[in-house]
Amino acid sequence: MYKKLSTRTANRLLCGGQIINISSVSADGVSDVMTAAWNCPYDADQVLIVLDRGHTTTANILDNGKFVISIPSEDDISVINKVGSAHGRDVGDKFAWAGIESDKSQVLGLKVIPNALAYIECELINSDVLDKTGVCLGKAVNIYVKDGLWNDEGSHFAEGMKLTLSYVHEGLYRVNGKEVKV
């Protein structure tokens, strides 16, 4: 027996990827950060993120071709909910608006939410694809991971993956198989 669902629930059957934060900066130097769930690896040194073409982050990335992906943990749920609840075009510098004491990324120097599990600093691969479809392809230019979460011997992020968040629906997340509701 199967239960029939609305076709509008397809995204709830497939996990779009762990929750990430994307930091960017406008041509005028205004910092932005957003929360996103539709992401995946694209190649060994490339990532794919699906963005709304009307978002401030999309405009920023199209303007300067640079962004940073931060991988938050359960400790960051209130921050990711806050930055995911407003548009940069409405509040300006989202770090200031949300009261976040930011860090700077190591290579690109963009503001990032501190204490993430890992950071991937990226440069945009194809602006036409992002502009036309909202699909953002980024090439990693620097990656750094919190101590103890990367296995050098096996070259994997297994310990870190146990701490990543997956968005389920309406304030419900999963962390390492357990539900976390805010």
pLDDT of residue 9: 74
pLDDT of residue 132: 97
Kindly report the average pLDDT of the chain as a whole number.
91
In this predicted structure, which of 20-29, 42-51, 133-142, 167-176 has the lowest mean pLDDT?
167-176
**Closest alpha carbon to 46 in 67, 32, 62, 25:** 67
pLDDT of residue 173: 84
pLDDT of 162 above 80: yes
In this predicted structure, which of 91-100, 121-130, 149-158 has the lowest mean pLDDT?
149-158
Query: Which pairing describes strands 111-112 and 103-104: parallel, antiparallel, or unpaired?
Result: antiparallel
pTM: 0.92
User: Is the Cα dihedral 144, 49, 74, 11 positive or negative?
Assistant: negative
Alpha helices in 99-172 (DSSP H): 127-133, 158-161
Give me the percent of the chain exceeding a pLDDT of 90: 68
pLDDT of 2 above 90: no
